[in-house]
């Protein structure tokens, strides 16, 4: 299994407590969260209602709340933490390197 790294944003574009959406080369939209200087990444679409978490959601600490039905997820693990969401979000390893935010994706999933 080959892993590819993708630069999705400048760290300056995502201050602490904020989120940002970037796209992988194949078009998959990824949400990137800055929680107290640590970066986390998940798929951007809510697993319950297919709403954009970045465009319609709100980040409070490590929890992203979907604006469509108010379900929520832990951005660190992707786990659903509030109904009506029950299916976890897909997560990606994220890191800051040289002022850029990178995520790692299995090559077939990019």
Q: Does pLDDT of 110 surpass 70? A: no
Q: Strands of 29-35's sheet, edge to edge?
A: 19-23, 29-35, 38-43, 91-92
pTM of the entire structure? 0.92
Give the rounded percent of residues in the chain with a pLDDT score beyond 70. Answer: 97
Q: What is the largest CA-CA distance in the chain?
A: 39
Q: Which residue has the higher pLDDT, 1 or 27?
A: 27
Q: Hey, what are 21's tokens?
A: 């959406």
Q: Does pLDDT of 87 surpass 80? A: yes
Residue 51, pLDDT score: 94
Residue 108, pLDDT score: 65
């Amino acid at each position: 299994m080959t892993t590819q790294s993708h630069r999705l944003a400048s760290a300056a574009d995502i201050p602490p407590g904020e989120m940002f959406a970037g796209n992988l080369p194949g078009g998959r939209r990824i949400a990137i969260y800055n929680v107290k200087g640590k970066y986390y990444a998940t798929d951007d679409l809510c697993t319950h209602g297919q709403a954009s978490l970045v465009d319609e959601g709100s980040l409070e600490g490590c929890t992203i709340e979907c604006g469509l039905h108010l379900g929520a997820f832990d951005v660190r693990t992707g786990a659903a933490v509030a109904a009506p969401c029950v299916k976890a979000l897909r997560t990606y390893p994220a890191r800051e390197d040289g002022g850029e935010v990178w995520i790692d994706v299995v090559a077939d999933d990019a």
